[in-house]
């Protein structure tokens, strides 16, 4: 399941993030890549333990917490502390699959990567190339979103970032361990939740139909969730 989550960050938050990143020290993006991915990765990244990464990571986590679409699609149990990267002209990331398990930098606690997310921080008109390309059974999906918008997709997906031919693309990226690790079941829960939202627009919450579908949603989540 690939989901476009709009307006995760406000325009003011995007501007603040970019201001902080302007003054940050950037290093080689290979620092957080696995052995195989490091050979395919050609970008820059601010250090994972830097004060800028921690501050902006907290900002992103707060924004995710207030976004119902992200919650509905990811069903988050744990979110890996957000990281920040940039692709300047000539940079790219060849096709790869994200590591299945990632240790948190502070606690060492391991997170299973069920859902990958990219939060765009640069307007698409400011750069050429740099599309995130995600492959699934339906083919390739090219993603280039407005600043402040996020795309989430299964971490099992083969994906890449196309060569930047003009400008610079800045983004936050992170992984989520979902309460429902199976992507097929998670997709059903997301579609079910979206249907409930539509039903509630025309029927009161006290209606038997609304109570029935809402109850079934939570009973399915209770059956499938791993905590």
Residue 186, CA distances (Å) to 105, 190, 220 in order: 27, 6, 11
- Residue 29: closest CA among 88, 79, 103: 88
Q: Which tokens in the block code for residue 225?
A: 């969730």
4 annotated as a binding-site residue: no
Give the dihedral sign, CA 108/112/116/119: negative
Residue 173, CA distances (Å) to 133, 184, 214 in order: 15, 23, 32
Q: Which tokens in the block code for residue 187?
A: 């997709």
Distance CA 101, CA 78 (A): 12
Distance CA 20, CA 57 (A): 12
88 annotated as a binding-site residue: no
94 annotated as a binding-site residue: no
Q: Which tokens in the block code for residue 78?
A: 């744990």
126 annotated as a binding-site residue: no
Binding residues for 2-oxoglutarate: 169
Binding residues for Fe cation: 96, 98, 159
Binding residues: 96, 98, 159, 169
């Amino acid at each position: 399941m690939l989901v476009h989550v709009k307006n995760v960050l406000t325009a003011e938050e995007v501007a603040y993030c970019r201001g902080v990143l302007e003054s940050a020290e950037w290093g080689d993006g290979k620092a957080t890549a696995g052995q195989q991915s490091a050979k395919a990765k050609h970008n820059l990244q601010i250090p994972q333990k830097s004060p800028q990464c921690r501050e902006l990571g907290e900002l992103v986590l707060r924004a995710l917490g207030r976004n119902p679409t992200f919650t509905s699609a990811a069903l988050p149990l744990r979110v890996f502390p957000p990281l920040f990267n940039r692709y300047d002209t000539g940079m790219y990331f060849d096709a790869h699959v994200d590591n299945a398990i990632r240790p948190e930098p502070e606690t060492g606690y391991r997170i299973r990567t069920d859902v990958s997310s990219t939060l765009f921080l640069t307007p698409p008109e400011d750069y050429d190339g740099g599309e995130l390309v995600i492959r699934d059974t339906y083919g390739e999906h090219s993603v280039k979103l407005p600043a402040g918008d996020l795309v989430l997709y299964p971490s099992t997906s083969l994906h890449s970032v196309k060569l930047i031919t003009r400008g610079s693309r800045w983004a936050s990226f992170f992984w989520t361990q979902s309460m429902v690790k199976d992507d097929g079941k998670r997709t059903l829960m997301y579609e079910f939740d979206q249907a409930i939202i539509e039903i509630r627009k025309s029927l009161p919450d006290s209606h038997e139909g609304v109570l029935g579908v809402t109850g079934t949603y939570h009973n399915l989540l209770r059956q499938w969730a791993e905590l």
